[in-house]
Chains A and B, each alone.
Chain A
Amino acid sequence: MRLKYVLNEVLVGLWRNVTMTVAMIITMAVSLTMLGASVLLYLQVDQMKNYYYGEIEVSIFLRSDVTDAQRQAIDQAISSDPLVSNKTYETREEAFNRFKELWQDSPDFVKSIGPNSLPESFRVKLKDPEKYKAFADKIQGMQGIQDVIDQRALLEKVFKIFNAIQVIALIVAIVMALAALLLVGNTIQVAAYSKRREVAVMKLVGASNWFIQSPFVLEAVVAGLIGAILGFVALFGFKIIVFDQRLQALTNILTPIHNSNVWLMLPLLAAVGAAVSAVTAWVTLRFYLKV
């Protein structure tokens, strides 16, 4: 009976003030979408780091006028270096073939580059990619080397951009969450005001605080949960439309976003949405009803 009473109060409460309820749900949904996006991005960057850092190489490009003796000395220096885990050598022809393959869709571009315009190189994998500096310092000064390039530095620039996007999403999520908080507080106040007679009588006859507050708190929690579900749907839709369809090519580079990760957002968003709503409603009632 009490359950029925409470559920009925919740539905009536949400409906009585339906515009406010909708506003509350939408803000909550946007905030939670942003939170979900931010968390997904964080997971994604983490995953990409694991993936790419394993693949990272240091490229040592040789000058076009390098002599055999110089090449041999460099080869020797790399092989004997304890920091190196393995190395490959790429001739000009191999470099050009790889280049042709990579740009096979743009034959004009390939034609403009002759087979001799690409440098030969050593590709070195370090045991610990963090030790790049120590390795580069040793090798840099040798004769016949044009350039030593660490892929890690390039990747880090990319990751910095991702991190910035993630932080922005998080900030938007927090700002929207603040708006959602105020709306929840306001909605609960209006609900409590419209039921002030009932509340006064309840206090008078000694209804427990739990009993007086739970319909209001549940009202906010239900709205928070609806917001969370909407946010999750938005996140999933965005993932399917943007990453799986429009930007599919990009996802191949970025490592794919797993659906399991996106599903993980549902309980997360639901928990955050419900908890934030419940706490806000409860605090509002403590001040407003003074039970």
Chain B
Amino acid sequence: MIQLENVTKTYPKASRPSLDNVSVGIEKGEFVFFIGPSGSGKSTMIKLLLHEVQPTSGKVVVNAKDVTTLRSWKIPHFRRSIGCVFQDFRLLPNRTAYENVAFALEVIGKTQAVARRVVPEVLELVGLGGKEHRYPHELSGGEQQRVAVARAFVNRPLILLADEPTGNLDPDTSIEIMRLLDRINRTGTTVVMVTHDSNIVNQMRRRVIEIESGRIVRDQARGVYG
């Protein structure tokens, strides 16, 4: 599903590479944590998978597509197979929960009829039934993140990337979000999550890949934060 082969990424003007000759493979349906201190290269990993940055050398394969040679006009279509959740939610403040999720469908050309059918379903799935018409500022942090997860998942992506999705949430809310991600993982979606949250990693007992200074220092099935 995701294959990194000898990937090195050096940003311009950086003294050392953010990722240094990294090779890792992730199978379909896996749930993987990337952990490591700030600046270790975790976020670069996410950006590489999304084709926001290009590797300096090496090969990135996602969904059997070689991202490194992907033509730029094909990127939008490629991204439709990947859902994304971020620490800062990235919701549109002037749109309701329903509209935020529907927006993701509209802009990839789905009709409103499709949105009317699919959006309530996915909002129900993330536990926001009855709150469809609230604006982001009328929702708690945890609820906003649920909207973001709903938006990432509404298109039924093959992969869900989560960049510190619990970074702005309290421990209880974080656990609820993790349950949600776990549920999504059980539908067969590959979940890749970047985090510093040791509690969560220890509780979930899933594959843990630890990065330090751009190198993988640990790759452990059913691992803990360490």
Complex-state Cα separation, A247 to B44, whole angstroms: 72
Total A-B contacts with CB atoms under 8 angstroms apart: 55
Q: Which of B73, B82, B84, B106 has the most CB of A within 10 A?
A: B106
Q: B90–A205 contact, CB under 8 A? A: no
- Chain A residues with Cβ below 8 Å from B104 are 201, 205
Which among B76, B82, B106 is the interface contact of A208 at CB below 8 angstroms?
A: B76
Task: Report the interface size class on chain A.
Answer: 10 to 19
Residues of B near A134 (CB, < 8 A) are none
A170–B212 CA distance with the chains assembled, in angstroms: 63
| A1 touching B76 in the complex, CB below 8 Å, given contacts A197-B92, A205-B151 | no
Q: How far is the CB of B225 from chain A (nearest CB, A)?
A: 28
Q: For residue B215, which residues in chain A have a CB less than 8 angstroms away from its CB?
A: none
Determine which residue in A197, A201, A209 has the highest number of CB atoms from chain B within 10 A of its CB, and name it: A201
Q: Which of chain B's residues have a CB closer than 8 A to the CB of A202?
A: 107
* Interface-centre pick from A5, A200, A208 (highest chain B CB count, 10 A): A208
Specify which of A204, A211, A212 is in contact with B90 (CB 8 Å cutoff).
A204
Partner of A206, one of B78, B106, B112, B151: B78
Asked whether A211 and B107 contact (CB < 8 A) given A204-B79, A205-B151, A206-B80, the answer is yes
| A111: Cβ under 8 A from any B Cβ | no
Residues of B within 8 A of A198 (CB): 92, 103
Closest CB-CB distance, A32 to chain B, in whole Å? Answer: 33
| Most B Cβ at <10 Å: residue of A198, A205, A212 | A205
B108 contacts partner chain A, Cβ-Cβ < 8 Å: yes
Q: Provide the bound-state CA to CA distance between A58 and B103, in Å.
A: 78
Q: Is A207 an interface residue (CB 8 A)?
A: yes
The answer, yes or no, to whether A258 is at the interface (CB within 8 Å) is no
- Interface residues of chain B, those whose CB is within 8 Å of chain A, are 50, 73, 75-80, 82, 84, 90, 92-93, 103-104, 106-109, 111-112, 151, 155
Which residues in A have some Cβ–Cβ distance to B below 8 Å?
Answer: 1-2, 5, 197-198, 200-209, 211-212
